[in-house]
Structure 1
């Protein structure tokens, strides 16, 4: 949980800046700048991770202050220190993946992950069960896998004929990468992107912790539900990736109408898929829990909460696609603001009150009512911004200005 909320969100959130900058530059007439954006992304995200690395390396006193068990606190610190080895590789992989996706190269990272998955499984089995490392073999296996993914993706990128034809790699441009104004522009997108991802993840982890307070049965049901939702979330996440790339590319190409069509197509597709998933979950709600547990009480509680989880899929789809549109536009700050208000001002207080207040005492259902309300607010709010609150011609002009300024800076450094 700590690794996700207080670490990996730097990679997944920070690289959303490439959704804006690299995707717009790719079709904006200055393709060499795409590789400059990648290099700047790597450098700045590695630097942004340094405070996180310090926290991970010395987190035991923090956990003790928060009242955690001393043995658990010590072991968490040991786990995270080993996981630190893989952090630069993970950031590198996510950055390079975005660099390729902005050019429409979607398969490369998927192929790398398919190749790395069995290696990761083998490493975990060997290091955990057949070495003295025991449980510390797990973070070491993950760290090795992250570096393997990064290395393989570099190789695939180098060999990719599509990448060579695109002409985006223009060599190392360290002086351009460290241009102060360009770094500030990047961080203006990356930091809200980190908040956009981190606030949502943290909210779900708070719900998981709250479910643990309800007892063993609600916690077991919550594990089933969250595992299911994490798998299903890959669908709107994928649509969001496509939306950010397509919208960014159309803005870079000065095609305001095309960017608008792409955004509405993504929203329509995500809602349609969300409804299909919702129907499937509702049709199987009474037996779905048996995929994970033979305990009839767990299956019954999962069945009671499943209507909420099912309706959640529609909102999740809309939020995922519209979030992708906002990233393609360069408006990550709006996504972060929606998440902060929806989850922390409304959903979590509402859900915790419904779950634990003596007059309601809805338990796990109360927690999920709060999450459903939050995501519908986020999804509908972001779609309202896309539908009513976007001047597409203005967004195109902003993209043109970004590309022209970056091109001028790069050419100036090259002349020097």
Structure 2
């Protein structure tokens, strides 16, 4: 009986993590479909608009993802409060309110950066025509930042409160809205103006606004969630709670910036190598990013589950939640790696027409890059989930240092050196990405395994 109790607890934790991770991973995958729709529509406009969109979304995604990570620090705060006491209405409301404040401040900063998009493109050596199109695209797309970052705060709240399926349903709605928006504004269906590349940005803004409003409606209509009165007294400041969000969130944002910065910067390296390699890189990275959303969702669930046990002071619960999440993440990425190795061209066909001779060079590069992506799937899954479990312990500063080192010392050095100064060209850039993930996964997994010795868990 003594042995069966820990075994039952492990199985229960595994099931609880799956129940939370499943809807979150599904929402992440659906969110990638939202972005993929843009790629599919813009790809029909030609390689030059696709290159401009790729560079623009690389910059925009870097901004949106890092600031969402900063405001996403509300997740371990909410889960720890729930672990300490089941009904922590005022504490949770204050945390979410300050996260929404932070979201608006972050959006303002991000919009200022996007406003100088064309100058940034030219400064990195991109072609003038591509830079001009990218600047026009970003001038519209930046309006999506406030609803995207605020919507992420509300998504984090509903997930931590046990309603992760709201995120899945709302993201599915976003797919429908973005598809309709692209049809209307890119190609002018239904009598709408055919705006081309800029029309895709208009569709993205519309999708972000609808998504945010859907979260507001879901929270106000759910009996459990509306008792928190999240939208009452939004003007009231809670400076200590804001400081706590910044303490946890700034290292998370820097960690995301380090990783996403390297992967987004790879697009700029590819732009210097050639348009065909950049287009192939865009397609291959879409597939890799699509697969990454599953362990990313597991990592989000791990932050909530580990944070709950952390708040309750349950060391055994912390261990069960962390190892269960890591096992799930590794298992999933092993499957995605196998798929990339076995049918890379079938995956490329989801984005481009394999029969079109004009796409031959792009397809060749995309297939080549995807073989490297298959190699780093396991390491990408480990680092994503390991970062999530450490965030549940509210331990974010050292993981930030690990990320900065892994991505910008061995990773960036290898990507730049092999990509620009050897015949490997684009393949060398992807080998640099692989090296960065191997280093990050190894160091983050070691820190999680050494959590007791490092004093990261509650006494």
TM range (shorter): 0.7 to 0.9
Equivalent residue in structure 1 for 2:232, among 145, 159, 172? 172
After superposition, the Cα gap between the structure-2 partners of 1:219 and 1:39, relative to the gap in structure 1 and judged at 3 Å, is: same
Q: Give a deviation string over 1:205-261, Cα, whole Å, max 9, x none.
A: 222222333334433432331121011111111111111111111112222211111
Question: For residues 217 and 67 of structure 1, what CA distance do their matches in structure 2 show?
Answer: 16
After superposition, the Cα gap between the structure-2 partners of 1:271 and 1:156, relative to the gap in structure 1 and judged at 3 Å, is: same
Establish whether residue 228 from structure 1 lines up as the match of residue 287 from structure 2: yes
Equivalent residue in structure 1 for 2:168, among 110, 116, 123? 110
Q: Give a deviation string over 1:16-66, Cα, whole Å, max 9, x none.
A: 311221111122223431121111001022113322222323444555555
Write out aligned runs for 1:254-333 (5 A).
254-285=313-344, 289-291=348-350, 292=352, 293-294=354-355, 301-333=365-397
Equivalent residue in structure 1 for 2:421, among 325, 350, 357? 357
Question: For residues 346 and 28 of structure 1, what CA distance do their matches in structure 2 show?
Answer: 41
Q: Could you say what secondary structure the match of 1:218 adopts?
A: helix
- How far residue 204 of structure 1 moved from its aligned partner, in angstroms, is 0.9
Moved more, 124-133 or 109-118: 124-133
After superposition, the Cα gap between the structure-2 partners of 1:204 and 1:90, relative to the gap in structure 1 and judged at 3 Å, is: same
Equivalent residue for 1:403?
A: none
Establish whether residue 79 from structure 1 lines up as the match of residue 137 from structure 2: yes
> Which consecutive unaligned segments of at least 5 residues does structure 1 have?
398-416
Moved more, 139-148 or 310-319: 139-148
Please report the TM-score for the alignment, with normalisation by the length of structure 1: 0.85
Equivalent residue for 2:69?
A: 13
Figure out how many residues of one structure are paired with residues of the other and give that number: 391
Moved more, 236-245 or 138-147: 138-147
Please report the TM-score for the alignment, with normalisation by the length of structure 2: 0.77
Question: For residues 308 and 390 of structure 1, what CA distance do their matches in structure 2 show?
Answer: 35
CA contact (8 A) 1:281 1:306 kept: yes
Moved more, 73-82 or 118-127: 73-82
After superposition, the Cα gap between the structure-2 partners of 1:139 and 1:231, relative to the gap in structure 1 and judged at 3 Å, is: same
Equivalent residue for 2:268?
A: 209
> Which consecutive unaligned segments of at least 5 residues does structure 2 have?
1-57
**RMSD over equivalenced CA pairs, Å:** 2.7
Establish whether residue 2 from structure 1 lines up as the match of residue 59 from structure 2: yes
- How far residue 333 of structure 1 moved from its aligned partner, in angstroms, is 2.3
Q: Could you say what secondary structure the match of 2:73 adopts?
A: helix
Equivalent residue for 2:54?
A: none
After superposition, the Cα gap between the structure-2 partners of 1:67 and 1:230, relative to the gap in structure 1 and judged at 3 Å, is: closer
After superposition, the Cα gap between the structure-2 partners of 1:184 and 1:119, relative to the gap in structure 1 and judged at 3 Å, is: same
Equivalent residue for 1:121?
A: 179
Write out aligned runs for 1:41-190 (5 A).
41-64=99-122, 72-130=130-188, 131-132=192-193, 134-135=195-196, 136-163=198-225, 168-169=228-229, 172=232, 178-190=237-249
